[in-house]
Amino acid sequence: MIECWFEFGSNYSYLSVMRIEALAAARGVTVRWKPFLLGPIFKSFGWETSPFVLQQAKGAYTWRDMQRQCEKYNLPWTQPSRFPRSALLPMRVALLGAEQPWMGAFCRCIMLMNFAQDRDIDSPAAVSEALLALGLPDGELMAAAVAEENKLRLRAQTEAAQARGIFGAPTFFVGEEMYWGNDRLGDALTAAARG
Amino acid sequence: MIECWFEFGSNYSYLSVMRIEALAAARGVTVRWKPFLLGPIFKSFGWETSPFVLQQAKGAYTWRDMQRQCEKYNLPWTQPSRFPRSALLPMRVALLGAEQPWMGAFCRCIMLMNFAQDRDIDSPAAVSEALLALGLPDGELMAAAVAEENKLRLRAQTEAAQARGIFGAPTFFVGEEMYWGNDRLGDALTAAARG
């Protein structure tokens, strides 16, 4: 079992979310999805936005790196015209879906909207489109997603991330071992497959 | 040809400096060594020390990550009792040696002192020991290393790093393509081998 802590606004989460289900299945590993919000964690460091925006040189490098990484993994890529994109609504839906069979497909759909189609993902139109494409009751799910109880659950999950030492996304856990970044997905899966 | 920009105080540089010559040789790639100082670059971001010290959660993770990475690469590892260690003297010697046949062995020796033996590396005793082990004239080289001209050259090389967009270490260049971090050494060598 591998826990995948991610956020739809995070470009390196994109690389992992697109690949993790297939890679895990090939090794007989179960994925446990853990959506959480990066914003409050960055704020706790005194950062008002992504380090890729705050540090100009690192940001410039990141976009070139993403281009090369997507080529390597054969994933589509368009540099988002807005970064980081807020993703509150799809994150809330992802929290609802975390243990549902449609979770992986829903996450890939939202990620592609952000990082391949350069679309606003924090809108009922986008989320509804993603849910309908999977044959899901969009209105019902979005209503449940914005219910107070679910909002509080996402806040609690974000606090749990921070309490566990998470400082960026994606982050993987295999038991108590933490692995940070898409670059560690392979190592994390190897550890998970070892059991 | 691959340029390897590194600093002896940097733990992720340790992973690359220990491995790059053998990996590059296996692919018929020449290594061009580029020692530079990380401190002035971090200072330009308003940081007084390493981000692994400034960000507590990231720092804690980094030491566990180093342990696992060293196991993976079969490298010795001891968490330095002082981090980041200043490395001015060995960096200045490395600049002198950058195009000498003993450069790789000297760098590995200093890196092992820092990250396997937990020793102070910014001392004439340590640097002298490393040079003598390679059969080199330690006194002569250290005198040349601290000569004003060589000090200025190291400062200029650090400014060149910054002008090229380097924001951390290790960083590799293959032509104009920049690759940041030990995790990109493989991709950088693949690009270098392609020519």
Residue B41 distance to chain A (closest CA, Å) = 11
Mean pLDDT of chain B: 97
Whether B36 and B154 have beta carbons less than 8 Å apart is answered as yes
Max CA pair span of chain A: 44
Q: Of A45, A178, A184, which is closest to B55 when you measure between CB atoms?
A: A45
CB contact (8 A) between residue A61 and residue B180: yes
Q: What percent of chain B has pLDDT over 90?
A: 93
- Residue of B154, B175, B148 lying closest to B35 (CA atoms): B154
pLDDT of residue B179: 98
Whether A32 and A2 have beta carbons less than 8 Å apart is answered as yes
Helices B148-163/B88-97 angle, 10° precision: 90
Rounded Cα–Cα distance for residues A87 and A122 (Å): 5
Q: What is the mean pLDDT of residues B146-155?
A: 98
CB contact (8 A) between residue A168 and residue B58: yes
Q: Nearest residue of A to residue B51 by CA position?
A: A45
CB contact (8 A) between residue A60 and residue B165: yes
Map out the domains of chain B as residue ranges.
2-194
* DSSP percent split of chain A into helix, strand, coil, nearest 5: 60, 10, 30
DSSP B102: T
Please tell me the least confidently modeled range out of B50-64, B85-99, B113-127.
B50-64
Q: Nearest residue of B to residue A188 by CA position?
A: B68
Tens of pLDDT along B69-103? 999 999 999 999 999 999 999 999 999 999 999 99
pLDDT of residue B55: 86
Residue A104 distance to chain B (closest CA, Å) = 26
Chain B environment of A55 (Cβ under 8 Å): 45, 167
Rounded Cα–Cα distance for residues A140 and B21 (Å): 59
Between the CA of residue A54 and those of A46, A101, A169, B38, what are the distances in Å?
Answer: 11, 37, 17, 18
Q: Kind of pairing, strands A177-180 and A171-174? A: antiparallel
pLDDT at B46 > cutoff 90 = no
Tens of pLDDT along B1-41? 999 999 999 999 999 999 999 999 999 999 999 999 999 99
Q: Nearest residue of B to residue A42 by CA position?
A: B55
> Across A50-170, where does the E strand assignment appear?
none
Residues near B92 by Cβ (< 8 Å), separated by ≥ 6? B145, B146, B150, B151, B154
CB atoms within 10 A of CB A51: 14
Please identify every stretch of chain A with a pLDDT value under 70, giving residue numbers as ranges.
none
Q: Which residue has the tokens 């909207």?
A: A113
pLDDT at B112 > cutoff 90 = yes
pLDDT of residue B2: 98
Helix (H) or strand (E) holding B178: strand B177-180
Chain B environment of A184 (Cβ under 8 Å): 65
User: How many Cα atoms occupy the beta-carbon half-sphere of B116 within 13 Å?
Assistant: 14
Match domain B2-194 to its CATH number in 2.60.120.10, 3.30.465.10, 3.40.30.10, 3.90.1200.10: 3.40.30.10
pLDDT of residue A4: 98
pLDDT of residue A45: 87
pLDDT of residue A161: 98
Three-class DSSP category at A2? strand
Q: What is the mean pLDDT of residues B163-170?
A: 97
Rounded Cα–Cα distance for residues A150 and A140 (Å): 13
Chain B environment of A167 (Cβ under 8 Å): 55, 57-58, 61
Residue A77 identity (one-letter amino acid): W
Three-class DSSP category at B98? coil
Whether B138 and B127 have beta carbons less than 8 Å apart is answered as yes
pLDDT at B51 > cutoff 90 = no
ipTM for this model = 0.94
B58, B67, B171, B190, best to mutate vs chain A, most A CBs in 10 Å: B58
Residue A70 distance to chain B (closest CA, Å) = 13
Rounded Cα–Cα distance for residues A50 and A112 (Å): 20
Please give the model's pTM, rounded to 2 decimal places: 0.96
Whether A27 and A21 have beta carbons less than 8 Å apart is answered as no
Q: Which residue has the tokens 């879906």?
A: A97
Q: Nearest residue of A to residue B41 by CA position?
A: A57
pLDDT of residue A95: 98
